[in-house]
């Protein structure tokens, strides 16, 4: 078997041993607060600490290194609000915002609890312990409709996802994602977007080198991550079926804030009918008072052996819930995937291996409990993500999960593969601070020679080919071209002039009424080409005053007629690309 993130800074004295970095970033009067949370006894960083502005839905969480960052909305008066810190196994702490200081250090005291009388008794009788544990889990499942939100709500979340093949990172995405939950009837769905709606509102970073990867990598994994929620979905949910297929054992009691929490381990029995597919084990944290899942940890392992290959996978899934308005809302989700692929020959000798690792996580930074925020939306694909533009002012006021030291290194490594300027030359879809093609001096100089005439413009390249049939204009567009009321321009983002001339002939682009220009923007490396593979061709239109619009109808589509009319008359109703 083969397996294998106030208008001025000031200092005040230490407040109950807690120091936090407090500074203001003057973007729309949003205050930014960052720090690290550690154990009081030994200074060890504490991950997964739930942090929120008391009495509000605004919050964040610490990363694996215990670091955090939160944006304080402008309506928050520091003299009137406090910041709360809670984590399972530690005493909660609430600190007035106007008493926070510098040096970014929050100390939480470990809560020492003993197993209650019932648990001590059942330690002596393992079977009784298992029966009591299973009964508690069943009661917690039965209490789901009471403990979790039934009314519609919207979560503002921050999403991060990175993955690697062997030692090479091939994907990193950071995004703001809105998640809308309609009224919940608490019927388990298979896939999250069968009930939930997803909308990626902004991309912060998106490095994608999966075109050269050996495995398929999804652009974004919202459904996969949200299926962690055992209270709502049954996809790979070990507790969605009969509980008698699992061993349950009460192993500890602890605290979350003022609530006692029962810790229950579970493990799949060998006679489970699912055993041939996946093996599950994990830990459930259930509040004693209302029997609510406050945290779940599920590990799924699987071994598949084929004639020529073998696959071992281990997926660790964590879900964290936060009490708010007498309900428990999802606060954080994490997935860690570790898969080993081995190719073997007829003698069962390994001839090739490939290890795939990925980390996916989400934090909720705001809850909007109202159906007025309703929208419909599925998990976006790669092309959908390409259309999302980067807005730095948005991120100045949006709470993100602070990157760990490892994640900062991953970002640096992926940035080195393709320059920030080249990343941003793919139309502002990626964070970094460069300029887009449409804002570059070369592009502006090119448009200057056509100023005063409406343009239908296509950016293309020899690695993002055009279909000449798409470029065949309908009769109205052809008449406007003939009368020179509008001009049709193909701009090749091509390094080699000879190849550009040859490709025009090869792809049938030397058509009547079509004009040609070439801009060498340095996209000559294989990495740049693979990175921008799905960007080109890119369709634009330019009004007589030089305003640039994206995604016009194709020239061969009948809907081009009203579009060209509006473009000529400067009455186009569309969102322009921002002008510098």
Tens of pLDDT along the chain (580 residues)? Answer: 333 332 223 333 333 333 444 443 333 445 778 889 999 999 999 999 999 998 899 999 999 999 998 888 888 888 888 889 999 999 999 888 877 765 568 899 988 665 554 454 445 567 777 889 999 999 999 999 999 999 999 999 999 999 888 877 878 889 999 999 999 988 888 889 899 999 999 988 887 776 556 667 778 999 999 999 999 988 888 888 888 889 999 998 999 988 899 999 999 987 655 555 789 999 999 999 999 999 999 999 998 877 777 888 999 999 999 999 999 999 999 999 999 988 877 777 777 788 889 999 999 999 998 777 889 999 998 878 877 877 778 888 899 999 988 888 887 777 666 543 344 344 333 333 334 567 677 788 888 888 888 999 998 887 666 777 788 899 999 999 999 999 999 998 877 888 888 888 877 888 888 999 998 766 555 545 554 555 677 788 998 888 888 788 999 888 899 999 999 888 766 555 544 3
Residues whose CB is less than 8 angstroms from the CB of residue 49 and which lie 6 or more positions away in sequence, other chains included: 37, 61, 62, 66, 68, 85, 86, 87, 90, 108
Residues whose CB is less than 8 angstroms from the CB of residue 19 and which lie 6 or more positions away in sequence, other chains included: 35, 101, 102, 103, 104, 105, 106
Reported as half-sphere exposure (CB side, CA atoms, 13 A), residue 506 has a value of 10
Place of tokens 């109205």: 476
Phi, psi dihedrals of residue 102, rounded to the nearest 5°: -95, 180
Q: Is 233 exposed, middle or buried (0-12, 13-18, 19+ CB in 10 A)?
A: buried
Helices and strands, counts by H and E, the chain: 13, 23
β-bridge pairing 455-460 and 487-492: parallel
Q: Give the per-residue pLDDT at 275.
A: 53
Element (H or E) spanning 205, and its range? strand 197-208
Contact 255, 89 (CB under 8 A): yes
For residue 177, the cross-strand partners are: 157, 200
CA distance linking residue 335 with residue 449, whole number of Å: 53
Question: Measured on CA atoms in the order 444, 447, 452, 454, is the torsion positive or negative?
Answer: negative
| Cβ count within 10 A of residue 345 | 10
Q: Give the per-residue pLDDT at 125.
A: 65
Place of tokens 């944290």: 285
Please give the span between the terminal C-alpha atoms of the chain, in angstroms, as a whole number. 60
CA 259 distance to own-chain centroid: 31
- State yes or no: cis peptide before 537, omega within 30 of 0: yes
CA distance linking residue 188 with residue 542, whole number of Å: 50
- Three-class SS state of 502: helix
Contact 137, 248 (CB under 8 A): yes
Contact 425, 435 (CB under 8 A): yes
Phi, psi dihedrals of residue 424, rounded to the nearest 5°: -75, -15
Q: Is 577 exposed, middle or buried (0-12, 13-18, 19+ CB in 10 A)?
A: middle
Q: Is 252 exposed, middle or buried (0-12, 13-18, 19+ CB in 10 A)?
A: middle
- Three-class SS state of 15: strand
Diameter over CA atoms, the chain: 94
Question: What DSSP state is assigned to residue 388?
Answer: P
Q: What is the pTM of this model?
A: 0.70
Residues whose CB is less than 8 angstroms from the CB of residue 92 and which lie 6 or more positions away in sequence, other chains included: 84, 85, 86, 256, 257, 258
Contact 170, 377 (CB under 8 A): no
Phi, psi dihedrals of residue 421, rounded to the nearest 5°: -65, -45
CA distance linking residue 571 with residue 262, whole number of Å: 65
CA distance linking residue 47 with residue 38, whole number of Å: 9
- Give the closest residue to 494 by CA, choosing from 534, 529, 446, 542: 529
Q: Give the per-residue pLDDT at 416.
A: 61
């Amino acid at each position: 078997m083969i397996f294998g993130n106030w208008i001025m800074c000031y200092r005040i004295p230490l407040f109950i041993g807690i120091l936090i970095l407090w500074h203001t970033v003057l973007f729309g009067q949003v205050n930014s607060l960052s720090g690290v949370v550690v154990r009081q006894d030994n200074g060890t960083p504490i991950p997964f600490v739930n942090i929120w502005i008391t009495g509000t839905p605004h919050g964040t969480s610490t990363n694996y290194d215990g670091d955090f960052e939160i944006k304080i909305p402008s309506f928050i008066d520091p003299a009137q609000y406090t910041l709360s810190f809670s984590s399972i196994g530690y005493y909660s702490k609430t600190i007035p915002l106007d008493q926070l200081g510098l040096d970014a250090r929050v100390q939480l005291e470990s809560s020492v609890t003993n197993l209650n009388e019932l648990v001590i008794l059942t330690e002596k009788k393992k079977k009784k312990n298992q029966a009591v544990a299973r009964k508690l889990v069943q009661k917690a499942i039965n209490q789901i409709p009471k403990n979790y939100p039934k009314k519609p709500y919207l979560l503002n979340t921050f999403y991060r996802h990175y993955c690697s093949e062997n030692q090479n990172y091939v994907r990193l995405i950071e995004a703001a994602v809105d998640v809308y939950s309609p009224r919940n009837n608490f019927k388990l769905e298979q896939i999250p977007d069968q009930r939930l709606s997803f909308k990626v509102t902004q991309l912060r970073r998106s490095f994608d080198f999966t075109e050269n990867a050996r495995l398929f990598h999804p652009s974004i994994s919202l459904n996969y991550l949200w299926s962690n929620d055992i209270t709502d979905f049954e996809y790979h949910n070990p507790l969605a079926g009969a509980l008698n297929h699992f061993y349950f054992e009460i192993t500890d009691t602890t605290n979350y804030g003022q609530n006692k929490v029962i810790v229950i381990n579970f493990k799949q029995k060998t006679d489970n009918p699912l055993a041939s597919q996946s093996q599950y084990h994990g830990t459930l944290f259930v509040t004693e008072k209302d029997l609510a899942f406050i945290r779940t940890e599920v590990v799924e392992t699987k071994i598949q052996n084929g004639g020529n290959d073998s696959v071992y996978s281990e997926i660790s899934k964590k879900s964290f819930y936060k009490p708010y308005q007498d309900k428990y809302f999802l606060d954080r989700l994490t997935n860690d995937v570790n898969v080993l692929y081995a190719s073997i020959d007829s003698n069962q000798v390994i001839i090739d291996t490939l290890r795939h690792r990925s980390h996916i996580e989400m934090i909720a930074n705001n809850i909007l409990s109202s159906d007025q925020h309703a929208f419909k939306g599925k998990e976006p694909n790669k092309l959908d993500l390409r259309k999302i533009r980067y807005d730095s002012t948005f991120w100045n006021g949006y709470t993100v999960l602070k990157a760990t030291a490892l994640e900062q290194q991953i970002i640096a490594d992926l940035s080195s593969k393709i320059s920030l300027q080249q990343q941003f030359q793919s139309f502002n879809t990626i964070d970094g601070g460069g300029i887009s093609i449409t804002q570059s001096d070369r592009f502006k100089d090119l448009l200057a020679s056509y100023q005063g005439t409406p343009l239908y413009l296509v950016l293309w390249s020899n690695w993002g080919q055009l279909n000449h049939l798409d470029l065949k204009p309908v009769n109205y567009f052809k008449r406007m071209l003939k009368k020179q009321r509008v001009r049709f321009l193909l701009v090749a983002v091509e390094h080699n002039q000879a190849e550009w001339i040859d490709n025009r002939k090869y792809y049938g682009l030397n058509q009547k009424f079509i004009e040609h220009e070439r801009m060498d923007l340095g996209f000559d490396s294989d990495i740049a080409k693979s990175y921008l593979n799905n960007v080109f061709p890119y369709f634009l239109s330019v009004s007589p005053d030089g305003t640039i619009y994206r995604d016009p109808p194709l020239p061969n589509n009948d809907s081009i007629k009203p579009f060209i009319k509006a473009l000529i008359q400067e009455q186009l109703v569309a969102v322009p690309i921002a002008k510098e």
